[in-house]
Structure formats: C-alpha cells, structure tokens
Chain A
C-alpha cells in the first residue's frame, strides 16, 4: 500500500502485566487492522474477545507489547505526542455516569479543552458548537443527574467532539441504555460520521448497530477473524454463529427461510430490505398460486 491509513495497527500483540509469576495469556495476538479517514467501522466480538483492549490501543491508552500502532503516522509509543494522539482519537465508554467529570453539562464538555489549554473565548465557542451537534444545547446549564442515560451519553460524546477529533472510538456506548436512548445515541453517532466526516469505530454487541456500518471487524480470541462489509460478514451466518455471535434478526429470519427453500436474496441487513424481500416473495407466491 502506498498511502498510509489514518489508523494502522501492525500485527500487534498485547498481554496485561503478569503478577505472581503467572504468565498472562495474550489478549491480542497479532492483530492487524487499518482504518481510513471517514470510515464507519464496527468491531464485534463476544465478551473477553479482546475488542475493548484493541480499542484502547487506538488512542494510546494501551501500548502494544509487540508490533506498533500509528495514528496519522505518529506511533502511539511516542510519549511526547500522547496528547496529540488523544486529541485526534477520542474515546467514549460504556457507562455515561463514569465519564462525566463536572457538575454542570457545559463545564463537562469544556473539560478536554481546558486540559488542552485552549483560550477561554474559543472554549465557549467550541462547547456551544459541540452541544448543538449532539442536540443538547438547551441542557447546557443542567446537572448530569437530571439527564437520562441516552442524554448523558450524548454529553459524553459532545465532550469528545469539542476536541474536534478526526476519529471517535466508542466502546459499547449503548450497552447500558434503554431502546430509546440507544436510538438517540446511534443517531448522533451516525451524524458524526455522515455530516461531520469523523471516523467512527464502534465496539458493540448489537448486530443491528453493526449492520449499519460501512465495515465490520470481527474479533475472536485476540485475533481478527473477519474484516469486511456487513453484507459479507453477516452473509456467512454459520461462521458467525460458530463464534458465539449473532447476526441481525432480519438476516437470520431470511437465512432460515432461504434454507427452507424460499426464494430470498443472499443477505438481508435491515428491516426495510427484509420487508421488501418478503413482500416480493409473498406477491410472487400469490401470482403463482
């Protein structure tokens, strides 16, 4: 490859430090992934597969024991450039309660900028801007305790967006939310990618969230086992199931129907597609009968 990708992980391995002389197992075992700018990538994998550990390598929270990760050409092992990297690649975690620092929403969104030493006037501007982008501007003077989970998670996203990063890594951002909160947050995340052109890497358990990404990376046992478009990844239903993962409900429905001999397209990803395919099938059936 001539041009370097935005984030590049070259055969990285990682294990947590050992204690009591026990050699810990490798959490990541020779993983190579590269993410281009403006991509929308989902990372799938069941618990303990190493997907969160992988995510933490993208902004130098963890540094690989072997191999190397580079962000915009800067190696994450370079300590002097740490803040540069973290400014480019922001990270949002699962529990919104545990990432909000301040008692007032707008002060929390300002937190990263204050740390970076941005002049006060500019902080104000960027905070308002970030709050508007996640549609939480009206809540700027509220206390985090007055907000719902989805709203809190959007505040956490705003806190990252205010840094104006090129990439946001989200570690199961919807896992603790109710369906409504999930919808809100996913909508915000999609907007980040589609409207602001921010690279999004989302780690998730929800297959329907993964289905709407551009690319799906499946991690199992510290290795990347699949890395392709959702259509291709979820097309291999058997392989996914073998790894203890699921495919979106609609995909599974169509897959099972197809197995029973119904004439359906190869891989169906979202509800609209599924409805269209089934409609076509039923109408076709009527015509024949």
Chain B
C-alpha cells in the first residue's frame, strides 16, 4: 500500500544517533557541513570523512543506505569533478590539443567529490535517524528566537505537523477517488504524457475539494480545543539535552580541532 511508504526516509532504530536530541542533531549537522568547507587539504578532509563513517557505524544503519542516498546525486558529483578537472587553472600535467589538466584541477575535483559525498551522507543520516515530527519539533525550538523578528515559527511548524498528519489520509483518499473514477470508466493508463496528465484532473479536483472541506472541519475542531496560535502555548514533551548530546557535540568539536590542526601543521602536499 502507498500508505506504508516512509516519509522523510526515516529508518526506525534505537541507536545512540537515533536517541540524540533533534536540536543537537540539527546544530551538529550544520557544524559538520561547515567543517567540510573549513578543511582545505586532502588530509584534513579525510578527517571529516572519517567522522561521517563513525556516525554511520554508531547509527547501526545498513551501509547500503549511504549508496542509496548518493546514487541520485551521482551526476552532479561527476559534473562537478569534470568541470574542476578541466577548468581549474594551474601548472599543466597533461596537455593534448586544447585540453590541459593541472594537478590543482585534479586535486580540487577529488576534494569537491569527497565534500559533496560527505555532505549528502551526513544530512541523509539526519533524516534517516530522526522522525519528521521530531525534526519539525527541533526546528521549531531552534528557530524560536526568530519569533522576535516576526518570523511565524510556530505557524510554520504547525503547518508541517498537519501536513505530515494528513499525507497518509490524502493518499488513502486519492486511491478511493481513483477507484471511483475508474469505476465510472476513467482511463488512466493509456495515452501519452499529456493525455495522462489530463486524466489526472478528475482525480485532483475532488481531492482538492475534499482537502478544503477537511481543512475547514479541522480548523473547527482545533478551535474547540482552544487553539489560538503559539502564544502562551506549552508542550507536553520537553526536549532535554543529555550526556549523549554533549558527547556528540564534543566529538564534533574534536573533529574541528583535528581539522584545524591538520590545516595548520599538516603536510604541505595535497593542499589547495
């Protein structure tokens, strides 16, 4: 059933990574992405890469997930690599016709590839190990200070929550409408792209109408339960940073120290 597909690619588990506070995970992943760009040489970047390896090992997720998340961006990685190899100027190590490849170009290409792979692997780990609802919750709390400059943080996260809540309901409904239209002789399989798109109209219109009706009823039900925006609202689940979270933060901090040390004192080869 369509209903069973996971959203936000969450893979349930109870590893230490799964149990980290979503706020800490969000902060650390941003810190990690910055770290990947702080590293300016092959050796310091390898330290960064090994960090994501450690994270994956701790999360106990199957390794093929890494490949799964990198596969769709493979063309981008290749494209970046090719661009860097051919267009970064430096002392040529290979020349033929109008093509010249510099050592610096190859190095840049390699570094860029490692960076992108680590970046995707790292951020995918976040969505693999955090439920969408925990992510929304973490985001809301992290962005709370933005409320002072009138960013509707609570409203945004409420919308996210409701969207997540209603996706399965609407998928269910879509299937019902499809069945109903097929029973009336709607043809959805044959024809070219345009014809198929046209065949979707009799499904989308009832779906939208019903979504609006649902929204109306939901708003009423929310009003009955005294909903009045984010003001004065409390939460049942309080997020609490535990020793695990601080350990993770310390680990990333050590990574930073190692990368910076490597940047400053590391071997001069393979640097940009």
Q: SS class of chain B's interface: helix, strand, loop or mixed?
A: helix
Interface window among B191-199, B229-237, B245-253, B264-272: B229-237
Q: SS class of chain A's interface: helix, strand, loop or mixed?
A: helix
Confirm or deny: A104 has a beta carbon within 8 angstroms of a beta carbon on chain B: yes
Q: Could you tell me the distance in whole angstroms from the C-beta of A155 to the nearest C-beta in chain B?
A: 12
Q: With A93-B221, A99-B217, A101-B218 given, is the CB distance from A144 to B165 under 8 Å?
A: yes
Taking Cβ atoms with an 8 Å cutoff, the residues of B that contact A are 3, 132-133, 161-162, 164-165, 168-169, 214, 217-218, 220-228, 232-238
Q: Could you tell me the distance in whole angstroms from the C-beta of A58 to the nearest C-beta in chain B?
A: 11
CB–CB A120/B165 < 8 A? no
Q: With A95-B217, A120-B234 given, is the CB distance from A104 to B222 under 8 Å?
A: no
Q: A99-B221, A120-B236, A127-B236 are in contact. List 16 more A-B contacts (CB 8 A).
A: A61-B220, A61-B224, A86-B225, A95-B214, A98-B214, A98-B218, A103-B164, A107-B237, A111-B225, A112-B226, A114-B233, A117-B234, A120-B234, A120-B237, A156-B221, A159-B225
CB–CB B165/A115 < 8 A? no
Q: Which of A98, A102, A110, A118 gathers the greatest number of chain B CB atoms within 10 Å?
A: A98
Confirm or deny: A123 has a beta carbon within 8 angstroms of a beta carbon on chain B: yes
CB–CB B228/A101 < 8 A? no
Q: With A101-B218, A120-B236 given, is the CB distance from A115 to B228 under 8 Å?
A: yes
Subset of 22 A-B contacts with CB under 8 Å: A61-B220, A83-B226, A90-B225, A93-B221, A97-B214, A98-B214, A100-B165, A101-B161, A101-B218, A101-B221, A102-B133, A102-B161, A113-B236, A114-B234, A117-B232, A117-B233, A120-B236, A120-B238, A123-B234, A123-B236, A144-B165, A145-B169
Which residues of chain B are near A113, meaning CB under 8 Å? 234, 236
Q: Which residues 141-173 of A have a CB within 8 angstroms of B?
A: 143-145, 156, 159-160, 163
The complex places the Cα of A110 from the Cα of B226 at a distance, in Å, of 12
Confirm or deny: A76 has a beta carbon within 8 angstroms of a beta carbon on chain B: no
